[in-house]
Amino acid sequence: MAITCTATRGKSSGTAGTRPDGTRQSRTDYRQLRFRLSHLKQLAVKPPTLEWQTATVDRVWVETSRVKSFRLAVPGFGRFKPGQHVDVRLTAPDGYQAQRSYSIASAPDGAGTIDITVELIEDGEVSPYFHEVVREGDRIELRGPIGGPFTWTAERGGPLLLAGGGSGVVPLMSMLRHRTTSAGEPVRAALLYSSRALDDVIYMDELDAISASDPRFDLTLTLTRNRPPGWTGKTRRVDARMLRDVMERLGRPALSYVCGPTAFVETVAGMLVDEGLPPDTIMTERFGPSGT
């Protein structure tokens, strides 16, 4: 498979140069390039061939006005790692099929069920189906677990830096749930979570509860669009100063996981490289095109 690599121009990349044909060219930022090469190595891991399975929808619940979670009973589903996802396939009566990926939100507990959390994209094909059509008792096709590098289990250790934008918090929640239920003292962990508004924060109560009971967990919420009156948390997109603040409390992360809209992931991962973290300790998962 041919892989092409594009270097992105970072903040410190300096001025543009000139190609032999006279056209302008950005100077390569080698820190960004190293990150991109390490990401391509992550992509190069070939997934195993997986069979489609039938899952039964065990439970449906509302997380926020735009987000629902689904508990799926999947007999014979392989043991998964936090961070992995499943592919879901819908088939219309005329044979038309649509397939999308959804991260597993639950921790591996051997219960024969997995939870997925789906944000409604109004003009989408699959997420509106989940929100408007899927009911308890329905059957859907899925395959998984899928994904290698973007996984964390307690043996991998920490300190662990998790950065999520929007529904990008889903696989990070699986990691946090696994961390909480694993034997021994949990590794130090920080979640930096960017949402548009407080009402859009998924798993709010659970995150609050972990934060209140676990001194080794640090939660930073930032609301990029609407803030409720009296909000004292962060109010801007994730930036280098915010990451530095988090890392000061956490300590230098041994592993970082960044997940969310493509622009969020590119920006945050680039900033972590700029902060001097080795690119191969930064794992990324891109969910879609929009920004938070």
Ligand X SMILES: Cc1cc2nc3c(=O)[nH]c(=O)nc-3n(C[C@H](O)[C@H](O)[C@H](O)COP(=O)(O)OP(=O)(O)OC[C@H]3O[C@@H](n4cnc5c(N)ncnc54)[C@H](O)[C@@H]3O)c2cc1C
103 binds ligand X (CB under 6 A): yes
State which residue has the least CB distance to ligand X: 124
Provide, rounded to whole angstroms, the least separation between the CB of residue 215 and ligand X: 29
Bridge partner list, 69: 61, 117
Does residue 284 touch ligand X according to CB under 6 A?
A: no
* Cα→Cα distances 38→44, 47, 58, 115, 159, Å: 10, 17, 39, 30, 20
Regarding 174 and contact with ligand X (CB under 6 A), the answer is no
Measure the CA–CA gap between 107 and 123, rounded to whole angstroms: 30
> ω before 159 within 30° of 0 (cis)?
yes
Q: In terms of CB distance, is 35 or 264 closer to ligand X? A: 264
Among 8, 58, 124, 197, binds ligand X (CB under 6 A): 124
Residue type, 58: D
Q: Residues with Cβ < 8 Å from 238, sequence gap 6 or more?
A: 163, 165, 192, 194, 222, 264, 267, 268, 271
Contact call for residue 264 and ligand X (CB under 6 A): no
Closest CA to 70 of 42, 96, 105, 97: 105
124: three-class secondary structure by DSSP: coil
Using the contact rule CB under 6 A, the part of the chain among 10-18, 114-122, 189-197, 209-217 near ligand X is 114-122
Residues 132-171: x where in contact with ligand X by CB under 6 A, - otherwise, as a string:
-----------------------------------x--x-
User: Binding of ligand X at residue 287 (CB under 6 A)?
Assistant: yes
Residues in contact with ligand X by the rule CB under 6 A: 85, 100-103, 117-119, 121, 123-127, 167, 170, 261, 285, 287-290
